[in-house]
Amino acid sequence: MMNPRLAFQGSCGFLGRSTVTVSIVSHAHGQMVMGLVNSLLDCPEVAQIIVIQNIPEFAEMPKLPGVRVIENSSPRGFAANQNAAFRACVTSYIS
């Protein structure tokens, strides 16, 4: 469940102080990834969270402007997944 204390301001991220995109690749780790995403929502430096589902899975990510889910049609390697995250990144930095 998302932290209700958080507020977004347009596409700039959390309270305008955000500079980092976090990329997460999931291999059917939905529950674990949801916990990580919810923790990252508390980090004011994080503007965007990109979750790449490398295989089909059910994971209900928070539906917020800063959280993007990319669903692969077939499994991809590490580099291909990270390249997809780089293409979707809207900040200067990605982790």
At residue 14, the pLDDT reads 43
Q: Place 17 in a pLDDT band, splitting at 50, 70 and 90.
A: low
pLDDT in tens, 35-92: 999 899 889 889 999 999 999 887 777 788 889 999 999 999 999 999 999 999 988 8
Q: Return the bridge partners of 66, or none.
A: none
Which of 38 and 1 is assigned the larger pLDDT? Answer: 38
Output 68-71 pairs: Cβ under 8 A, ≥24 positions apart: none
Total-model pTM: 0.76
Residue 2 pLDDT greater than 70, yes or no: no
